[in-house]
Amino acid sequence: MLTLHLTVGIVVLAAALVAIFNAQARRVVVYLLVLQIVLGAVLWVTTKSPPPPLHWILALLNGGVYPAANALERRGRPKSTILAFTIFGALLFSFIFSLGLQAAAKH
């Protein structure tokens, strides 16, 4: 289960990088993130080993970055603002991924 969670994490991170330049990929990132959070919750329940709190709190909060970028785009905000949101989301995903890898290395 941990391997599946890590694999989906890599896919989410790759999709977040693609979403910087592709608007349609933002929706895919949100769906993948929901899948990733569900897998993480199942992993937490089955192993009874909680992840670092910052890992799952930031993952939940980062889920709002991509809908916010879509809303800004629909409202006609500058492309630079939308790029800033998606770049921030990708950077946050990479930090969350590194926290997860550190936690996995300890177990």
- pLDDT computed for residue 50 by the predictor: 87
Whole-angstrom distance, CA of residue 78 vs CA of residue 81: 5
Closest CA to 96 of 43, 50, 60, 49: 60
3-state secondary structure of 19: helix
CB atoms within 10 A of CB 60: 10
pLDDT tens digit at each of 107 positions of the chain:
888 999 999 999 999 999 999 989 999 999 999 999 999 999 999 999 888 899 989 988 888 999 999 999 999 999 999 999 999 999 999 999 999 999 888 87
H or E segment to which residue 48 belongs = none
Residues contacting 15, CB < 8 A, separation 6+: 25, 28, 29, 32
Q: Which CATH code of 1.10.3470, 1.10.8, 1.20.120, 1.10.357 fits the domain covering 2-106?
A: 1.20.120
- pLDDT computed for residue 56 by the predictor: 87
